[in-house]
Amino acid sequence: MPRPGPHEGSPTFFVTFNDYTFNSSRTVLDNFKALATKRGWGVDSKLWRRQWRTCFNRAYTDDQNPFDDDDDDDDDGNSDDSNFSDTDTSSSDFSNDFTPNPTVPLHVEFKRMALHEGLKFSDDDYASRRARFFHQQFNHFFGEDRLGNYQKLCRIVGVPVGPTVTQCKKELKDRHVMINLVNLVNHMRTLPSEETLDSKTGLKRAGEECNVVPLIKFENFASFRHYTRKHTFPRERAKADGFINTLLRVVS
C-alpha cells in the first residue's frame, strides 16, 4: 500500500497534542513524522499503529514507513559528499538545542535532525550533510587513525589485538571479518560510556548494563551482503578514511 498522499490525513488529529503545533505549510504525513519524533513513537509499535489509523483512517503497513524516504539512493554508497572535508568531525552544523537520542538507529537520528533543521531530501546539500553526519558519528567513537583506536576496534569486533597498526589492520582485513559499518556505529551509540571499551572485561560489562544494539558478526558472505545493501555507509567518504576503509568489503 502506498504512503498517504499530500492531501490525505486529518489535520484535526493534532489538536489533542498540546505540545505540538500543526504546520499548515507541510503535509499531514510530514506533521505526523515530526510529532512521532517529538513524542518518541517507535515505528511499527502498537502506539504508532494506533495513532496512524486515527490520523489517516487506514491500517499501517511496513511499506508505508515515512522514514524510508527516497534517500535510499545514497544508501547504496553513491552520495556526493566530495565538497566536505574529512577533518570536519563535529556536529556543529546542527542546532545546539537539538536533543540526540542514542536509542534510535543512525539513519533515523539524522532524519530527526533534518526535521529539526527543516532540511529536506530535495535540498542540494541533503546527501552531503547525511554523509558527513555518518562520518562524524564514526569519528566520535574511533577518532583518528591511530594504534589505540585500532586496538579498541579489534576488541569490539572480536579479533586478536595487534601490537601495531599494521597488525591490527591485518586482523581486521581478514576476509572472515564481516562487520557492517552502520550496525557498528549503532552498536557504539548504545554502549553506556567510552571508558568501558578499554578492556575485554569492560566491554562485557557494558553489554550487560544497558540495552545495547547487538553487533552482528556475519557467519557467511550472503547474509552480510544482503544486510549491507540495505545498511550502507556512504561509500566515497568511507574510501577516503583509512580507518573506515579497513572494514570495507565489496558486496556487488
Please write the tens of the pLDDT for every residue from 205-241: 444 444 678 889 888 889 998 998 888 887 665 555 5
Tens of pLDDT, residue by residue over 49-92, are 899 999 999 999 878 877 664 333 333 333 333 333 333 333 44
Give CA–CA dist 173/61, Å, rounded: 40
182 vs 193, residue with greater confidence: 182
Quick check: 169 and 150 in contact, CB under 8 A?
yes
Residue 139 makes CB contacts below 8 A (sequence gap 6+) with 89
- For 194-224, the DSSP string reads GGGGSSHHHHHHHHHHS-PPPPP--SSHHHH
Q: Does the pLDDT value for residue 48 go beyond 60?
A: yes
Q: What is the pLDDT of residue 144?
A: 65
Give CA–CA dist 231/252, Å, rounded: 14
Pick the closest to residue 213 from 238, 242, 180 (CA basis).
Answer: 180
